[in-house]
Amino acid sequence: MSETLRFLSDDLQLMALSFMAVVYVFRIRWLLKFKASAERQAPSGAAGTSPFKGIVYSWANIAMPWSMESTRRMIFFYLQFVVFHLAVAANIAMSFVIPYAPGLMRPMIVVRLLQALFAAACVIGCYRLYRRLSHPAIRLISTPDDYFSLALLTLWSFASIFAAPNRPDQGEGPLMVYFVMTAFFLVYVPFSKISHYLYYPFTRFYFGRTMGHRGVYPVKRVTQPKATRA
Amino acid sequence: MTQRVRSHKAEKVVERMGRKLNRQMVGSLAGCVHCGMCTESCHYVLANPDDPTYAPAYKADQIRKIFKRNFDWTGKVFPWWVHAQDIRTDQDLETLKDIVFGKCTNCRRCSLNCPMGVDFATLNRMARGLLVSVGVMPEGVAVVSKDQWEVGNQMGVLPQDYRETLEWLSDELEAEFKDPAARIPIDKMDAEVVYAINPREVKYDPRTISDAARIFYLANENWTMPSEGWDMTNFGLFSGDDELGAAVAQRVYDKVAELRGTRLVLSECGHGYRSTRCEGPNWSGKEIPFVIESSVLSMLRYIKEGRIRIDKSKNKDSYTFHDSCNNARSCGFFEEPRELLNLLVTDFREMVPNRAENFCCTGGGGAMSMSEYTPQRLKSAQIKADQLKATGVKMVVTSCHNCVDGLADVIRHYKLGMKVTQLVSLTANALVVPEKIVVPVKARIPEVSLPLQGFKILVVDDEPDILAFIATVLEDQGAAVIQAADGEQALALALQEKPDLITLDLSMPGKNGGYVFEEIRNNPEAASTKVCIITGKPELRRLIYERPVAPPEGYLDKPVDEKTLLSNIRMILELKHPHGNA
């Protein structure tokens, strides 16, 4: 491995990660600076509900596609979401595994699975870009950041397909591209919509707390019309 | 730099936004990923698929861009990158007004469908509050808010009118049960139940008060109604004005405390329940030392405890239940109404979707008071109309006064042939009156000669509240009333039904009142029909009297009170004697 690749896969990643962590600390401090409003009323809704249950349900909501009408009705879209986010998580994990635990990626099955996942993410990313451009409502709300973030993740997934085998002996190019892109990703994330996962626990916590306190969460759904006739 | 180019109002909006933002709101403003999952949960979007500006994320972005430009440093440094944009002119505020008041009912359906937990409805309400704070709001919102601030209730019911209505209802109750104790107690100390209502009940639908009174009486409840602080509705919820919200809620709480009431029972009103039961303590910042519950719970308890007896066969129609957004999506109040309804009717059919996933009646969020948005509201109500139609029932039950009006409007507009009612009316109708209480109501009826009995009157108005008010007043006096919400319908009914009198609004969408009036006068079959113009725009009077046809028989300015309306109608119908002896 060349010194350049070693720098890109190790020092540069640590610098980018540190930068991201620092910005995140500022972002969270900024968010916490705003006062959280309280729920003073007596609990309402079904007896079994509580703020705690509401919070747990709210956090777990994303893993329960049946819990929201939007995910129920757009199940294909939801599956895309799952695959895309799994690929991003795997991609981040791979940026640690390659420099620090390369042995984990020696079995070919692992490499092939990762490549399949990244390829799927790449296809989904392309489709999402198309959807963002073609759907009038989505196009209207899309910002340059939305397009750039999606394009970045799609390209990053594409680059990862070639980096996954981790064979610097066969040419360091794919790994260098991958690590440069990863570092850029880490630096850019805190300023982009990709940092939504930073806000997710907060928005879901407060929404779940309120909805749990008021007995709306967990959502009760009656799927079949229930007729009562004497 | 941007501050210098803002108008005074825009400057205030931005300044107040900074004070109003809390962590929940900031999370919702920063956390949206523009995924579009919210889009198809909104009835406005579903009914207007070609107009992307109805998308919840787009509407929220109109608030988000101001936030980003002024409070989020990414937007401050790279505004174009994240579509951050300042609000600068009064015209910008007007545009925002049309979005947050005219394109959203704050029903919270999109919030519940957002994977990120972005609470769009809270953001929309915040934006409404900011606009209201600088005087930018629909006229109806201004009028209602003013009444609630100054008169103490959102319909401007004067204390004397309130008391007189309760006295009149008490007299009827006493006569019905032939029991001097069968009256509506006012300001009774140490009552178990203090009953607060919606002013709409006093003004347009006092039957729901007498229905509740009958139930309390037969349940032998120790109850009272307050002389002040009786309005449990709260326009602060709709206008986003937390100060109004706190003041109105506190007025109700203070009165209950003064009367040393044990339980504050709220009549069936979704936004009133949410405001008084859920949001009021948050707005006022105080703990509430007594129980607050919906009258639905009280009625259910009376039945379960055997304090009242019910014969469900008295409610013979087929029924469905419409969940109010405020009850179901913001207070988790959806099972108890169903439990009660199942005890009251023999044919109950669920509406789909239901409970927290139900669609808005489309008249929520104060939409019924914003007539400038009526056409787009009714167009967007197609979703609700389809949902109602699919149930195949005759009667829609709801636990919300606002939904009663909203649904009635949808039913009328889409000609669904259904009626809307509330649980209190169904309960009262199904009551089994114990034998020891004599109910000689039917024996009394023939003795009363109603002044408008035998007359057929066509009431024409595009405002559902006014239509309901005029129709109720005339019906109560014995008239057979036909209703029309627009000019075309009015013309058709005038020719088909041949009414004795038409009360005609002038300013209506489509064929306006002036056109309808001239058509009637020019049609030999209808020319002799008596017409009373009732308009809120006196400047249009000229247009009527300048027409080359015989002038109308009567003319009234809005707002019109019951007494004026009746005396004028009687005069036009040449009924000089108060009991109809012409």
Report pLDDT digits (tens) over B403-450: 999 999 999 999 999 999 999 999 999 999 987 665 554 444 444 568
Query: Each residue of A20-35: pLDDT tens digit?
Result: 999 999 999 999 999 9
On whether any CB of chain B is under 8 Å from the CB of A208, the answer is yes
- Whether the CB of B312 is below 8 Å from some CB of chain A: the reply is yes
- Rounded to whole angstroms, the Cα distance separating B58 from B46 reads 15
- Measured between CB atoms, which of A202, A203, A225 is closest to B352? A225
Window 287-306 of B: residues touching A by CB (8 A cutoff) are 287-288, 291-292
Calculate ∠ Cα A146-A152-A155, nearest 5°. 140
Residues B330, B280 contacting (CB under 8 angstroms) = no
Report CB contact under 8 Å: B113, A70: yes
Position B269 scores a pLDDT of: 96
Are B324 and B469 in the same domain? no
CATH superfamily, with its number, for domain A3-18+67-213: Transmembrane di-heme cytochromes, Chain C (1.20.950.20)
- What average pLDDT does the segment B526-542 reach? 79
B322 in contact with A, Cβ within 8 Å: no
The domain boundary residue, chosen from B431, B465, B497: B431
Q: How far apart are CA B78 and CA B73, in angstroms?
A: 8
Least Cα separation, residue B457 to chain A (angstroms): 38
- Scanning every residue of chain B, which has its alpha carbon at the shortest distance from the alpha carbon of A208? B117
Q: Residue A136 has which token pair? A: 């009038």
pLDDT beyond 60 at B147: yes
Q: Side chain identity at A24, as an amino acid letter?
A: Y
Kindly report the backbone phi and psi dihedral angles of residue A228, in degrees, each rounded to the nearest multiple of 5, phi listed first: -115, 110
Residue-wise pLDDT for B284-324, tens only, equals 998 899 999 999 999 999 999 999 999 999 999 999 999 99
Question: Would an 8 Å CB–CB cutoff place A140 in contact with chain B?
Answer: yes
- The answer to whether residue B58 scores a pLDDT higher than 90 is yes
Sign of CA dihedral B380, B384, B389, B394: negative
Phi, psi (deg, nearest 5) at residue B224: -155, 160
Domain boundary residue among B137, B160, B184?
A: B137
pLDDT digits (tens, 9 = 90+) for A36-50: 998 899 998 877 889
Per the CB < 8 Å rule, is A68 touching B113? Answer: yes
Q: Would B436 be classed as within a structural domain? A: no
Contact status of A193 with chain B (Cβ, < 8 Å): yes
Residue of B nearest to A222 (CA): B354
Mean pLDDT across chain B, nearest whole number?
A: 91
Report how far residue B569's alpha carbon sits from residue A198's, in angstroms, rounded to the nearest whole number.
66
- Residue A15 pLDDT exceeds 60: yes
- What pLDDT score does B1 carry? 47
Closest CA relative to residue B197, chosen from B154, B242, B238? B154
Q: In chain A, what residues touch B45 (CB-CB under 8 Å)?
A: 137
Helix axes B464-476, B401-413, angle to 10 degrees: 100
Contact B125, B166 (CB under 8 A): no
Calculate how close chain A gets to B90, using CA atoms only, in Å: 23
User: Smallest Cβ distance to A31: which of B27, B352, B353?
Assistant: B27
Token reading at A174: 């794919």
Q: Establish whether the linkage from the previous residue to B353 is cis, with ω within 30° of 0.
A: yes
Tell me the residues of chain A between 86 and 105 that have a Cβ less than 8 Å away from chain B. none
Q: Look at residue B542 in the predicted model and tell me its pLDDT.
A: 62
In a mutational test of the A interface, the residue from B22, B25, B37 whose CB has the highest number of chain A CBs within 10 Å is B37
User: Which three-class secondary structure state does DSSP give residue B262?
Assistant: coil
Same domain, B272 and B250: yes
- Give A213 to chain B, closest Cα distance, Å: 9
**B interface test, pick of A30, A41, A222 with most B CB neighbours within 10 Å:** A41
Contact A62 B115 (CB under 8 A): yes
Parent domain of B552? 449-572
pLDDT of res. B4: 59
Distance from CA of A183 to the nearest CA of B (A): 20
Q: Mean of the per-residue pLDDT values for chain A? A: 94
Give the pLDDT band (50/70/90) at residue A221.
Answer: confident
**Helix B295-304, helix B423-430: angle, nearest 10:** 30
Does B163 lie in the same domain as B123?
A: no
CA-based R_g, chain B, Å: 25
CA–CA gap between residue A22 and residue A189 (Å, rounded): 12
Q: What is the pLDDT of residue B540?
A: 66
Report how far residue B368's alpha carbon sits from residue A43's, in angstroms, rounded to the nearest whole number.
30
- The answer to whether residue B129 is domain-embedded is yes
- Do B365 and B294 belong together in one domain? no
How many structural domains does chain B have? 4
Of A206, A208, A211, the CB nearest to B23: A206
Helix (H) or strand (E) holding A204: helix A196-213
A-proximal residues of B, 388-417, CB under 8 Å: 391
- pLDDT value at position B326? 97
Look at residue A229 in the predicted model and tell me its pLDDT: 46
Percent of chain B past pLDDT 90, that is, above it, reads 75
Supply the pLDDT for residue A23.
96
Specify the pLDDT at position B538.
62
| Beta-carbon contacts of residue A140 (< 8 Å; ≥ 6 apart) | B52, B53, B55, B58
First to last CA, chain B: 75
* pLDDT above 70 for A114: yes
Option in B34, B119, B351 nearest A207 (CB): B119
Distance from CA of B374 to the nearest CA of A (A): 23
**Does any CB of chain B come closer than 8 Å to the CB of residue A134?**
no
Residues B319, B194 share a domain = no
Q: Per mean pLDDT, which range of A111-115, A197-201, B386-390, B512-516 is the poorest?
A: B512-516
Beta bridge partners of B197: B231
A136 Cβ contact list (under 8 Å, min separation 6): B50, B52
CB proximity B57 to A under 8 Å: yes
pLDDT of residue B449: 67
Across residues B359-368, what is the average pLDDT? 95
B53 interface with A at CB cutoff 8 Å = yes
Q: Which residue has the higher pLDDT, B144 or B465?
A: B144
Percentage of chain A exceeding pLDDT 90: 89
Which residues on chain B are in Cβ contact (under 8 Å) with A125?
A: none
pLDDT class of A224 with cuts at 50, 70, 90: low
Q: Is the peptide bond before A218 cis (omega within 30 degrees of 0)?
A: yes
Residues in chain B with CB shorter than 8 Å from the CB of A77 are 37
Within-domain flag for B223: yes
What is the rounded (10 degree) CA torsion for B110, A36, A146, A125? -70
Cβ contact B341:B423 at 8 Å? yes
Question: CB–CB of B348 and A228 under 8 A?
Answer: yes
Q: Which pLDDT score is estimated for A225?
A: 53
- Total count of residues recorded for chain A: 230
**CATH code of the domain in which B457 resides:** 3.40.50.2300
- CB count in 10 Å sphere of residue B576: 10
Q: Residue A14 pLDDT > 80, yes or no?
A: yes
B123, part of any domain: yes
pLDDT of residue B442: 46
* pLDDT score for B567: 73
User: Taking CA atoms, what residue in B is nearest to A197?
Assistant: B31
Three-state SS sequence of B173-219? HHHHHCCCCCCCCECCCCCCEEEEECHHHHHCCCHHHHHHHHHHHHC
Dig out the tokens for A124 from the structure: 């989904």
Q: What is the pLDDT of residues B551-578, one digit of tens each?
A: 788 777 777 878 778 877 877 786 533 3
Asked if A24 has any chain B CB less than 8 Å from its own CB, the reply is no
Q: Which of residues 62-91 of B touch A (CB under 8 A)?
A: 74, 80-83
Which of helix, strand or coil describes residue B526? coil
**Out of B26, B119, B331, whose CB is closest to A34?**
B26
In chain A, residues with a C-beta closer than 8 Å to the C-beta of B343 are: none
Which residue from A145, A204, A225 is facing B81, i.e. has the nearest CB? A145
Residue with tokens 């039950």: B397
- Burial of residue A196 (number of CB atoms within 10 Å: 0-12, 13-18, 19+): buried
- Please check whether residue B119 lies inside any domain of the structure: yes
Please identify, among B276, B304, B332, the residue that sits at the C-terminal boundary of a domain: B304
**Cα(B157)–Cα(A170) distance, integer angstroms:** 86
Probe site for chain B from A72, A189, A200, A206 (most B CB atoms < 10 A)? A206
Closest Cα partner for B383 from B400, B360, B367?
Answer: B360
| pLDDT category of residue B496 using cuts at 50, 70 and 90 | confident
Which residue type does B60 have?
A: A
Give me the mean pLDDT over the A169-196 stretch. 96
Cα dihedral B381, B385, B386, B391 in deg (nearest 10): 150
What pLDDT does B565 receive? 86
Distance from the first to the final alpha carbon of chain A: 81
3-state secondary structure of A35: coil
Note whether B34 contacts A141, CB cutoff 8 Å: yes
C-alpha span between A68 and B358 (Å, rounded): 12
What pLDDT shows up at residue A60? 96
Q: Are B445 and B439 in contact (CB under 8 A)?
A: no
- Res B146 pLDDT > 70: yes
B351 vs B436 pLDDT, higher one: B351
Give the nearest chain A residue to B325 (CA atoms).
A216
Residue of B nearest to A147 (CA): B81
User: For residue B536, what pLDDT is reported?
Assistant: 74
Model confidence at B581: pLDDT above 60: no
Cβ count near A224 (within 10 Å): 7
Q: Burial of B11 by CB count in 10 Å (0-12 exposed, 13-18 middle, 19+ buried)? A: middle
Interval B230-244: pLDDT, tens: 999 999 999 999 999
CATH classification at residue B375: 3.40.50
Q: How many CB atoms lie within 10 A of CB A152?
A: 18
Q: Single out the residue of A26, A75, A31, A52 nearest to residue A210, CA to CA.
A: A52
Q: How far apart are CA B154 and CA A203, in angstroms?
A: 34
From A56-65, B125-134, B488-497, the region with the lowest mean pLDDT: B488-497
Q: Are residues B476 and B567 part of one domain?
A: yes
Are B183 and B297 members of one domain?
Answer: yes
Q: Categorize the per-residue pLDDT at A184 as very low, low, confident or very high, splitting at 50, 70 and 90.
A: very high
